[in-house]
Amino acid sequence: MTTEQGRFDAVASRDARFDGTFYFAVTTTGIYCRPSCPAVRPRPEHIRFFPTAAAAHRAGFRACRRCRPDTVPGCAQWNVRADVVGRAMRLIGDGVVDREGVGGLAARLGYSSRQLHRHLTAEVGAGPLALARAQRAHAARLLLQTSELSATDVAFAAGFASVRQFNDTIRMVYAATPRELRDTRAVPREGRQPDHGEGPERTGLVVRLGYRPPLAIGDLFDHLDRRALAGAEEIVGEPGRRRYRRTLRLARGHAIAEVDESSVDAGGGDAGGGGANGTANGTLRCRLVLSDPRDLTAAVARVRRLFDLDADPHAVAERLRAVPALAPLVAARPGLRTPGAVDPHELAVRAVLGQQVSLAAARRLGAALVAAHGEPLAAADGGLTHLFPEVAVLADADLSALGMPGARRDTLRRLSVALADGRVTLDVGVDRDTADRALRAVRGIGPWTAAYVRMRALGDPDVLPVGDAALRVAARGRGIDLRDTSGWSPWRSYGTQHLWTGGAGGRGPRVVAAYPDSTRDGDPVPGHGTGEETVR
């Protein structure tokens, strides 16, 4: 939303569609809120607008305790934008500043720290340190209200350099002491989880992940169910009540994440909400067991990316509904997401494993790779036994037992070496065009695999893998010319997902190969019929 009057209108109508896209502060109270805050509206002359929560903090405003503006879903524009500000915001959200400092963030982006600070301040009203501090404050609030960690442990787990800095920041952001914040119990007591015998070094907690409704949660779980790799992932329960569980490799250790399909809530919870127009933000419950609580921010960010929870389904639907051939698909599956990945390296490896084979075969290969080369957990947790293999391990591993063509094994090794030595960089802040070119330079990686990695691993919302056989079949069945999709931008990934999911006749396409790139020379080729019904 770019006009001031438009922002005033959104605040006046408590329109939750704009939660996270901007914030408003009240000069007479010194607090800032989300647009959907249910509190009485101030006079327009007492309102100031800010692009980020950090900008409001920087101006001296405190977070509203009623609407909790720090819990809103992330702004979808950062996923759309490919400039340095968009890339920086994605990396800050992944916790890079806490792990590598502002200098490390700037180096990743090819800028000096001063240049980066200038760009961010001009665009979002705060520099990288202020943005990271706002994120640390949110992580601290989650830990205070959902774990049994002491306040001192929370301070360092959230990334603060000292207890004093932690206390000062909490007081500034929330106008409360850590003890007072913990006693407010914004998350019900039942959300506070014991360790369940995992040991004192592991922290179990439940967080409610905010999203903008609608959310096609069943389609997300269907997608994950068809791809879950034994050992690293599992789906338990029946449709409607499934739980997706998986291991995560993080900077300081590992984690187990569990997301409950039946926990989807169209409004309220830790995400707040209550918009008068019925578009309040929803929440999805996620349980995390962390070997090091300092990885909380990164773990939450990875789960959010996997479930595409920062998407703006209203903006996507508005654009795609204008395409007559897509309108029925959009109406049939409101809130369809483009599933992401918890680890770009893992996604790229899995894409190569799936070249020229059915989805079921790709899944078997992935499970075999996990069992042979993944890092075992100290103790199994249900069906979870391993972390997905690191690319440095795969670069030197004996892959002959995997049972796939030698050419594809060579591609997998070349990709692993390129990722391990830095010739190919895949992370949320990488320049996507640069990553695409680097991937295609690896022999055996063709346009389709590069596009798939760009969509799933890098979160690009505007990808159309025109070489995909299933996509062509679905498009042809609906009279769509894939050479003319400019009207879908910047949401072509979502149009692609609708065609993959809805297919030519609404039952899903008959997919002929999991990934169609040739492993011989990287050129896209038609798939070979397997008779297997899948959806990408």
- Among 15, 19, 33, 517, the active-site one is 33
Report the run of H or E that residue 209 belongs to, with start and end: strand 203-211
Cα-Cα-Cα-Cα dihedral of 492, 496, 498, 503, to 10°?
150
d(CA 505, CA 481): 17
Peptide bond into 490 cis (omega under 30): yes
| DSSP letter assigned to residue 521 | T
Q: Are 87 and 433 in contact (CB under 8 A)?
A: no
| C-alpha closest to that of 448 among 465, 470, 471 | 465
Structure token pair of residue 145: 């209200």
Residue with tokens 């070496």: 417
Query: Is 165 buried (19+), middle (13-18) or exposed (0-12) by CB count in 10 A?
Result: middle
Query: Is 532 buried (19+), middle (13-18) or exposed (0-12) by CB count in 10 A?
Result: middle
d(CA 364, CA 12): 54
Residue with tokens 């502002």: 102
- Among 19, 312, 468, 517, the active-site one is 468
Active site residue 468: yes
Q: Could you tell me which residues come within 8 angstroms of residue 318 by beta carbon, excluding any fewer than 6 positions away? A: none
Active site residue 33: yes
Cα 162 to chain centroid distance, Å, stands at 29
Structure token pair of residue 426: 């895949």
Structure token pair of residue 406: 């030698």
Q: Supply the residues annotated as catalytic.
A: 33, 468
